[in-house]
Structure 1
Amino acid sequence: MSKKSIRNFLGGLLLCFTAAAIHFSSMDVKAASASFADFQMQGDTLVKYTGTASAVSIPTSVKHIGKEAFAGHTELVKVEVPGYIESIDYNAFSGCSSLETIAIPDTVTSIGNGAFSGCSSLRNMKLGKNLKKLGSGVFAGCHRLSSLTLDKKNESFAYENGVIYSKDKKILYCMIPGYSTGEYKMPSTVEEIKNYAFWGCQNLKRVYIGSNVEEIPDYAFEKCTELEKVAFSYSLRRIGVKAFAGCLNLGNTEIPMSVSYIHDTAFDSCSKLALLAEAGSYGAEYESKRDKSNVPGAGYQNTSNVGGTDAGNGQEGSGTSGNNNGSSNGAADENPEGNAGGNVSGTLNGNLLGQSAVVGGNAVVFMDNSQSMVRSGNGQTENSQGESIQSGNIQSYPDSGTAAMEVIGGGSSPSYPKYTVVNNETIASQAYYRNSQLENYRIPEGIKRIGEFAFARSGLASVTIPEGVTAIGYGAFYHCDNLAEIEIPSSVTEIEPSAFAETKWLKEKKNDRENPFVIVGDGILIAYGGMGSQIEIPGSVKQIGAEAFKGNTQITGVSLPSSVTIIGEDAFAGCSNLVSISGGENLTEIRDRAFEGCPISTIKIPASVKKIGLKAYDMSNSGKHDWTKNAVFLGSQLPAVSYETTATRLVNEEYRDAVFKDVQVAVVDENITKEDIPGTVLDFKAGGFRGLVCTVKRAASGDTPGLLEVKFCMMHKAEVNSRSMPDEIVLYGKTYELSGQEDMEYLSEDGDAATQGGEAGNTAAGNETEGTAAAGAGRVTVEISSTTISSQPGAFAEMSGNQGNYILSISDNTTDRDAVNSAYRRAVSGSGLTALQVYNITLLDADKRIPITKLGKQQMSVTIPIPSGISAQNLKVVCLDEDGQLEKVNSRVVTVENQQCVRFEANHFSVYGICN
């Protein structure tokens, strides 16, 4: 072959390779592009991204990026945010460790807690001119983010030398984690530091706190591993949870006389630390009692899952969810990992002895009652007689996870041990959480309830639930990835949200097109895998289970059989094309958010309905016109308001909203009077209804419009306008005119829930807290109804990051004294208490009138006079968890206005005991 022929051949071959390369390159680009199907929507909110592309352009129809929408997508490198986005919710991009660049358009007004936490590759960030709200820990763990651009026209924030402040520099939001400064002097204008403000700033060596700062909030300087010196001002009063935990190089630190509170975990794992304080001061007392043992990593908090205090962020799991966690039947807004940040199992001859999990920041050991040997909280094994046998120590794992962590109780390590089976009736909450050794399990006979997250993320492959079990708790089997075989008996009448989410069993059931309805227990429909738009529920169904159809945008109509009595929590939430509901004549209960975001043509409430939950009919994101957002009550009595456990978690503030949110007109029986309204779903206070209550005076016929008479207006006069007082509306596709506006009666003029909050009960003392620097406009009012607690000053409560109004009620409890005593004897090897006073402690959202049972990762510091009959010496505070097991609560004796008081840290509210 000639040289010319060879050149031509090689040239042609090179051309072929070039064309192939271009072809493959174009294929790669195409494969890396997200399709519209990858975006799960609820109205104009992007709920979850399920794609795998490295570069994503968010659809222009999206106005809000929801909670954890992109969380855990480690493949994401670049995200284009269109100029229509208004808000980015908490943890929206948390754990996107490959994300390098994202520009926030001027339309965005709000960025939630932890929105970009753990984006360890993020290098560039621009914040727009209209941003007004910035959460806590937004950039925590973004170690490569060394600079930030803030639009010069932004009127809410200032950016200077790596730190974001409020415009007046009174609030310090955060330091950019990668900012290369060794020393930081805080301006004297700063009065408030946000949680996580300096989290993981590993270049920081010296910090000088401003002269007007009263509190170092929770997690503020955690994991600043190079921090050597911090100088406090004499304005300082408090140092919060893990404020300096993991600051491995922090040395001698002076505590001013002004400091009156330091959380027990504030300086965890500061191995070089020595606190210097004047003799007799609080700082000196704290240092004398501080645990100076060095536990590597005890201060660790997973940056990819940092959330802030504004949203509570108290629930954390063990990691951000990846692509597979975002199905419509996945975990609710809270990651169902619950309380456990980690665990370790102890074994002897191959048998499980006990497993530790982090509960309230402590290593709690769950004892397997079925074994003859169990492991105790002090790192020893014990036999059934309580005799100690030396064994290896159990590591105390730290809190870690997303903004969904549930912390059960406060306490200082070591906590009391717990049992996997309680009173032979309950599998304890988190009993086998992350137990990888558990593969095949048969629930013992006699068990009635399986607790929250009891088997979540365990190694279960099969489980048999015996007849007699009636309830399966929230996230009980969540993310048991290998669980393929489940037997659920007909005795089960209650299955809480996310109980089987992300299990192999449920995924296979939903893929069975021949049997699309997943019906278990006593007729509970827990999932649907069909493809139709018109759904006819089988006659064997008694309950539409929690989240059964959530996010199914194909559904347009649903027919309910007469057998259905309950529609569960979030059952049809986000079914954005669901316009028609028929049947259901025997419905008794419609639970929280059941039809949230559904554009139902006319809401029809059967006469049989007795209770309706919060946000059951939320029309605010339904896309409907105002004059079509109406409800008709077919009965002569109005339903009462109900709420589910999820609404009682502090972090879920948005769940605590009106039953008929954004519904304009309620049509009721003509015999309904104003005396029938209080306590019902149309009550201005209890149900949060803001609209008109009308009766039918003339039914619509043909082209002739009907006539409604306005009886009551459930609004303040100042709220009435052309939108809230229409001339006509649409019911069942027919026009109805409104009359009687001139004579209507206002039923909201007697004040709102917040002003009524202090009237509940007879109080011996009621004191408002003065709040802290982090409390903002929020307050906690303490009400005491007790014969054993003095009414003198000394009762107050503070909650870091509090933005709301709450009522803390403390009352005598004479019925649970034996239960606390028994729980103590079980937990402390038979020893009893010499003195005990028992109280019910409850927290009420004063604005929404809903009790708060769990604070998540947040804590409330409660101070009350020491009860009569209790000595200040060896004083203990304990509480019962949801299963009736004992928990230790962090406490200390303090003096307030010359009166001896006990101060303790609470993060859930139940039965408490103060004892010796």
Structure 2
Amino acid sequence: MDYTGSANALVIPQTIDGRKIVRIGDYALSKKAKLNSVVVPESVESIGSSAFEDSVDLKKVTLPDGVTKIGPSAFYGCSKLTTVNIPAKLEEIDDYTFSGCTQLTDIKLSESVTYVGESAFEGCSNLNSVTLSENTETIGDCAFYECDSLYSINLENVSQIGAGAFVYCSNLDDIDLTNCSLIGENAFSVCQSLINIKFPDSIYSIPQTAFEYTLWEQSAPDGVLYAGDFAYKIIGDFTDSTLTFKDDTYAINDDFLSYNEYVKKINLPDSLTSIGVSAFEGCSALKTVTIPDSCGVQAMAFYGCSSLTDINYNETAVRTAPTAFVETAWYNSQPDGIVYYGKSACAYKGDFKANETIKDGTVVVADGLFYGDEELTSIDIADSVEYIGSMAFEECINLREVKLPKSLYTICEETFYGCESLESITLPDVVNIGESAFAHCISLKNIVIPESVEFGIDDSAFLNCTSLQKVTVNGNIQQIGSAVFMNCENLKSINIPKSVESIGNDVFEFCDNVTIKCYENSYAHEYAKTNGINYSLIFDEREFGDINNDGKVDVNDVTHLQRYIAGFTDESGAPIIPDSDLGYADITDEGTIDSRDVTALQMILTNK
């Protein structure tokens, strides 16, 4: 709907010329001088971008509960607007929706609102109270920028707060961030009254500008400033030679004390679980540090600590970034190639090579150890290795051969992401396959999921494996995540056991030729029917390859298969393998029974 009239009080009808009004168009009522009230009819479901923008005399707007969408800048610059209701079905407050509405005093969001957009209430200088719904999870960048009268807002259920979200909210004195996992740059900067802050128990990075010029920060004594039990930043100039953290500290922030010239020794508590990115980068005087057993060390945490020679560290630590100790005195003394600390292959020094060996006795391969190594074609991993970190071989585009050790217990996220030349891989008895673990492995043709994988296959694990043709799922797997086989355009066959209780969205999107082998009335059966995917039914728990139906797969099945191919019949003259059992004999999954199936079954028995 567009409007060209000049009324002061506008009641929009439900129909115009017999047509139902379902939307207020973009700019439909923008810059309407003297318009001071609008009633929007129940028929309207959405309000367009800038619909009322700069209607500077508008004081009151009545919106129906059926509105699900209000476009960006819908009420931007409505400087006299004092009353507006938030519709019950509205899901988000879009960017700049109420920016510059300087006479708004309080806002209560409906239960359906999950998101408050960028600059949504920027410059609402008289806004003093905001009630978020229990479902509001995200506050966008600058959402309440310069709301200098704001003193009350309930943030306890919010998980993400954007950059500059509350800058210059000078009357805000108390906030609850209990469930917040992401706080943006300058989120609460220049909140001059802010003194009481309830911090979450498990946040691992907060920008050091997030609380600049707050009363909480400015009243803190020199030394370590803690956000709960999180070591947030150093207040003042730190010139001591020893830095000691309090007991119960669980994490140290990114860039915590980078490029300090004085500290020689750091005492870390046993409770510590993470040292942040570049936390002590360039601390040129630092000589010794003891890393607690449970602690992960993030990228460049001690990078360039040129005097650091003494690192006491858990030999099997699993969460050490390859760059954590680069350009330290200790690192520079190591030979080129894989750098080891105790039982951990923790970094790589010098030029990559085509063939690599991870030595015997190694237990951990660090996250991202060979990330982007375009030289690597094969790697021999010691049988002692139990953990290979996330992104360890990501974008190793020429990696063709890798044998995973039997002791490996998980495939982490993105471990082999983008290994474009990898044609086959045998998975040991791992318990889980992580998110995007083999995504974009465009040469991978077949994969067998071992019985040990009980919980599931995480999202996008085999995304865009365009050469993948067959997937065999063994054991008692419970869930298959979203987009696991998305765009596996040559995938023809996958068996899904009865144990599967959950299959995510878009798992077989763009897999136009796939057939799901599943049990009647199983979750996979219903999933295939609901999503229009081809399927074939398995009617019992019989093991694939048990051709003679004796409860096991052995050489007798090979003989039985050979006899069938030769034309043997039973006493009634029927083929010795009935049509209902041919699915167990089609080992190559090509739709025919021939000598190739005999060879494939023999290979299965050889590898058992």
Alignment TM-score, normalising by the size of structure 2: 0.50
CA distance in 1, matches of 2:266, 2:100: 50
Aligned to 1:622: 441
For structure 2, the residue ranges without an aligned partner over 5 or more in a row are: 1-22, 30-42, 155-163, 169-178, 187-202, 487-492, 528-608
Q: 1:342 to 1:462 in 2, by over 3 A?
A: farther
Aligned to 2:515: 725
SS in 2 for 1:535: strand
- 1:170-192 deviations in whole A, cap 9, x for unaligned? 4569669xx98868898958824
Q: 1:219 to 1:540 in 2, by over 3 A?
A: farther
Q: Is the 8 A contact 1:471 1:493 kept in 2?
A: no
CA distance in 2, matches of 1:598, 1:347: 47
Letter aligned with residue 639 of structure 1:
V
Q: Give the number of the structure whose residues are more often strand, by fraction.
A: 1
Which of 610, 613, 616 is the equivalent residue of 2:430? 610
CA distance in 1, matches of 2:97, 2:495: 61
Aligned to 1:572: 393
Aligned to 1:213: 87
Q: Is the 8 A contact 1:630 1:665 kept in 2?
A: yes
Q: Is the 8 A contact 1:218 1:242 kept in 2?
A: yes
Aligned to 1:82: none
Letter aligned with residue 228 of structure 1:
T
Q: Percent identity?
A: 12
Letter aligned with residue 665 of structure 1:
K
Shift of 1:316: 4.6
1:160 paired to 2:16? no
- 1:317-362 deviations in whole A, cap 9, x for unaligned? 549xxxxxxxxxxxxxxx97446554679999xx9433266999xx
Aligned to 1:594: 415
Aligned to 2:354: 533
CA distance in 2, matches of 1:507, 1:746: 63
Q: 1:747 to 1:443 in 2, by over 3 A?
A: farther
Q: Is the 8 A contact 1:355 1:435 kept in 2?
A: no
Q: Is the 8 A contact 1:338 1:453 kept in 2?
A: no
Q: Is the 8 A contact 2:90 2:112 kept in 1?
A: yes
Letter aligned with residue 276 of structure 2:
F
Q: Is the 8 A contact 1:172 1:194 kept in 2?
A: yes
Q: Is the 8 A contact 2:368 2:392 kept in 1?
A: yes
CA distance in 2, matches of 1:222, 1:359: 36
SS in 2 for 1:631: strand
Q: Is the 8 A contact 1:572 1:596 kept in 2?
A: yes
Aligned to 2:223: 353
Q: 1:481 to 1:339 in 2, by over 3 A?
A: same
Within a 5 Å distance, the mapping from 1:111-122 to structure 2 comes to: none
Shift of 1:665: 2.9
Q: Is the 8 A contact 1:549 1:575 kept in 2?
A: yes
Q: Is the 8 A contact 1:317 1:338 kept in 2?
A: yes
CA distance in 2, matches of 1:547, 1:160: 48
- 1:801-845 deviations in whole A, cap 9, x for unaligned? xxxxxxxxxxxxxxxxxxxxxxxxxxxxxxxxxxxxxxxxxxxxx
Q: Is the 8 A contact 1:532 1:554 kept in 2?
A: yes
1:631 paired to 2:447? yes
SS in 2 for 1:623: coil
- 1:262-284 deviations in whole A, cap 9, x for unaligned? 99x99685335799xxxxxxx9x
Letter aligned with residue 426 of structure 2:
K
CA distance in 2, matches of 1:622, 1:750: 28
CA distance in 2, matches of 1:235, 1:553: 52
Letter aligned with residue 459 of structure 2:
D
Q: Is the 8 A contact 1:448 1:470 kept in 2?
A: no
Q: Is the 8 A contact 1:355 1:432 kept in 2?
A: no
Shift of 1:568: 1.0
Q: 1:687 to 1:468 in 2, by over 3 A?
A: same
SS in 2 for 1:605: coil
1:191 paired to 2:70? no
Which of 221, 244, 251 is the equivalent residue of 1:429? 251
Q: 1:436 to 1:255 in 2, by over 3 A?
A: closer
CA distance in 2, matches of 1:170, 1:246: 22
Shift of 1:544: 1.7
CA distance in 1, matches of 2:266, 2:103: 54
Q: Is the 8 A contact 2:433 2:461 kept in 1?
A: yes
1:300 paired to 2:142? no
Q: 1:193 to 1:639 in 2, by over 3 A?
A: same
- 1:137-172 deviations in whole A, cap 9, x for unaligned? xxxxxxxxxxxxxxxxxxxx9983399xxxx98456
CA distance in 1, matches of 2:526, 2:183: 37
Letter aligned with residue 213 of structure 1:
P
Within a 5 Å distance, the mapping from 1:466-477 to structure 2 comes to: 466=289, 469-473=292-296, 475=298
Letter aligned with residue 438 of structure 2:
D
SS in 1 for 2:327: helix
Aligned to 1:271: 148
Q: Is the 8 A contact 2:321 2:366 kept in 1?
A: no
Aligned to 2:545: none
Within a 5 Å distance, the mapping from 1:795-810 to structure 2 comes to: none
CA distance in 1, matches of 2:135, 2:482: 39
Q: 1:610 to 1:688 in 2, by over 3 A?
A: farther
Aligned to 2:382: 561
- 1:431-469 deviations in whole A, cap 9, x for unaligned? 585445844353327636442528637763465565572
Aligned to 2:182: 315
SS in 2 for 1:355: strand
1:657 paired to 2:459? yes
Letter aligned with residue 246 of structure 2:
V
Within a 5 Å distance, the mapping from 1:297-696 to structure 2 comes to: 299-300=166-167, 315-316=182-183, 318=185, 337-338=205-206, 341-342=209-210, 352-355=222-225, 420-423=245-248, 427-430=249-252, 434-435=256-257, 438-439=260-261, 440-444=263-267, 447=270, 449-453=272-276, 456=279, 460-461=283-284, 463=286, 466=289, 469-473=292-296, 475=298, 478=301, 483-486=305-308, 487-496=310-319, 498=321, 500=323, 505=327, 515-527=336-348, 529-539=350-360, 541-582=362-403, 584-599=405-420, 600-606=422-428, 609-615=429-435, 617-619=437-439, 621-624=440-443, 628-632=444-448, 637-641=451-455, 656-657=458-459, 659=461, 665-667=470-472, 677-678=475-476, 680=477, 683-685=478-480
Shift of 1:231: 8.8
Shift of 1:554: 3.9
Q: Which has the larger radius of gyration?
A: 2
1:748 paired to 2:569? no
Shift of 1:546: 0.8
Shift of 1:604: 0.8
Which of 106, 121, 125 is the equivalent residue of 1:250? 125
CA distance in 2, matches of 1:542, 1:246: 53
Aligned to 2:586: none
Q: Is the 8 A contact 1:420 1:432 kept in 2?
A: no
Shift of 1:630: 1.4
Shift of 1:475: 3.1
SS in 1 for 2:312: coil
Shift of 1:429: 1.5
Within a 5 Å distance, the mapping from 1:131-210 to structure 2 comes to: 160-161=26-27, 170=45, 191-192=67-68, 197-198=72-73, 205=79
Alpha-carbon RMSD: 6.4
- 1:358-390 deviations in whole A, cap 9, x for unaligned? 999xx978899x999xxxxxxxxxxxxxxxxxx
CA distance in 2, matches of 1:223, 1:436: 40
Q: Is the 8 A contact 1:337 1:475 kept in 2?
A: no
Q: Report the number of matched residues.
A: 426
Q: Is the 8 A contact 1:536 1:558 kept in 2?
A: yes
Q: 1:749 to 1:436 in 2, by over 3 A?
A: closer
Q: Is the 8 A contact 1:527 1:547 kept in 2?
A: no
Q: Is the 8 A contact 2:128 2:149 kept in 1?
A: no
Letter aligned with residue 191 of structure 1:
V
Q: Is the 8 A contact 1:452 1:474 kept in 2?
A: yes
For structure 1, the residue ranges without an aligned partner over 5 or more in a row are: 1-156, 276-282, 287-296, 302-311, 320-334, 373-418, 644-655, 692-707, 727-740, 753-916
Q: Is the 8 A contact 2:247 2:269 kept in 1?
A: no
Shift of 1:601: 0.6
